[in-house]
C-alpha cells in the first residue's frame, strides 16, 4: 500500500513494489518508486501524463529531497 507525504500542498507518494503510478497517484502528485537501479522520481501532470527524471537517485533520501525541492518550486 502506497504511503503519502504532503509537502507544500503537493502529495509525494511512495509506491510499493508492483503498484502502478497511474492507479495510485493523481494530477499534481509526485511518485517515488524503488527499482533495482535506484529510486525513481516521477511527476503526474494535470492531463494524467507521467514524466520522470532521466536517471534514478541512489537512495531514498536523495529521491525524497528531490521531490520536496520540486514541490517547493511548483511541479
**pLDDT tens digits for 25-73?**
999 999 999 999 999 999 999 999 999 998 999 999 999 999 999 999 8
Give the separation between CA 7 and CA 24, rounded to whole angstroms: 17
Write down the pLDDT at residue 73.
84
Residues 7, 15, 33, 24, CA torsion sign: negative
> How would you classify the pairing of strands 10-15 and 50-52?
unpaired
Give the separation between CA 36 and CA 53, rounded to whole angstroms: 16
Q: CB 50: neighbour CB atoms within 10 A?
A: 14
Amino acid at each position: 500500500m502506497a504511503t503519502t507525504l504532503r509537502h507544500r500542498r503537493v502529495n509525494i507518494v511512495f509506491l510499493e513494489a508492483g503498484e502502478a503510478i497511474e492507479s495510485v497517484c493523481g494530477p499534481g502528485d509526485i511518485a517515488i518508486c524503488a527499482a533495482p537501479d535506484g529510486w525513481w522520481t516521477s511527476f503526474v501532470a494535470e492531463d494524467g501524463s507521467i514524466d520522470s527524471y532521466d536517471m534514478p537517485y541512489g537512495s531514498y533520501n536523495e529521491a525524497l529531497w528531490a521531490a520536496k525541492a520540486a514541490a517547493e518550486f511548483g511541479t
